[in-house]
Chain A
């Protein structure tokens, strides 16, 4: 009896926790609006994004889960502006991608709604959660799959964290090199420009004098 009661409570509270546990942060999105987020990540890093949409229901005067027909377009661009993910998901979705080049990746969301009456002048509420790298790991799943104890799982987490730190350090080195190249290029350009400017000035001055001299000689003024 206690077991069954406990099970029921477990199921109920699991449902409650599933709702309260879901990503809390949300923002409002217009119908044709496109919202983009930037993630600067090293290469070979996994990114998992979860989103949930809600639509304003005038009758209940509250935000209710969106109709199944309403979907969201998710587009992910890599640092070279190449599309690495472009898919349409439902009103609730989860997208995953792994970066193959280090740099700024752009994640853009916009709704696929073409019927303007669907939003009825209101806004779409989008709950979003993006997890990068080590935070994207599901430790409960890893523990179950590899049958790890608490301590082993904690050590596994530490290993993942350290690997993430290493990747970020390598990325930092690459970025610093690019920064240095940019600065050296600026330095070079300034140097060349000052030399060229001096030469141009001198040559223009000479040309001006010669041209005017020949002009005045032709006009018999000199």
Chain B
């Protein structure tokens, strides 16, 4: 691998020794600058992912000391297992009126998940949302919400369900965006040799930039959704103005012509009856 730059100890470095994190786990670095110290004790937490992280850290630290194919193989599949835990989905779909759509995600115990949703178009821009755990317990239930964010740590291993309902609406279709994030970000590469060493300044800076860019992308998504909402509202307003102006013109013409006709008909009848009476 690349040669490790040894960082000088001194007043320019704040914080304690670097924990055993590496480039592959960006969420762990969080931009903290630290001096490389002794290797942390086994079982040190590598990621804020829960008990699994500590367990895999212990295993990893244990097998990295082993030489040969077996140790490296075990490391590789531990990485794969860990990478399999994190995930997520970001989807935008149309919810017809009086409809309910559910999505399911199998999760393991201890994983932290976040559900963000926002209604983009339709009616009063609101939707019912509910989240249930595998035992059927309702974790979150809100009615007629325009947007919300719900975070929860999974206590039970199983399939979690979240549903969006438009059953209260009779004719407006809703477009709903949701972002379901699970666990922490997976590592970028399988890395077996640098598991227990500290981050260099370069790597730490890269991880900081990566996290900052992630938050920029999140902001962009947020602004994109709000802009879509406003733009669609403006286009609807434009259409309504068109229809209304044409409709009102026709209405005006019809009403004015029929007024004149009606008035004329009054005087014509009176004349006829007057003529009949006089003779």
Contact = CB atoms under 8 A, between A and B. Distances in A.
A221 to B, nearest CB: 7
Given A140-B190, A150-B203, A36 B93 contact: yes
Interface residues on B, range: 35 or more
A108 to B, nearest CB: 10
A136 interface: no
B260 interface: yes
Nearest to B160: A24
Given A6-B70, A164-B217, A201-B252, A182 B188 contact: no
Contacts of B90: 130
B23 A161 contact: no
B93 A17 contact: no
B216 interface: yes
Given A150-B203, A151-B202, A189-B245, A157 B188 contact: yes
Nearest to A211: B260
A35 B23 CA distance: 39
Contacts of B87: 23-25
Interface in B225-279: 227-228, 230-231, 234-235, 237-238, 241-242, 245, 248-249, 252-253, 256, 259-260, 263-264, 267, 271
A2 B264 contact: no
A154 B264 contact: no
Interface stretch (A77-85, A90-98, A111-119, A171-179): A171-179
Contacts of A140: 189-190
A151 B253 CA distance: 75
B248 A197 contact: yes
A172 B234 contact: no
Interface stretch (B33-41, B77-85, B129-137, B148-156): B77-85
B209 interface: yes
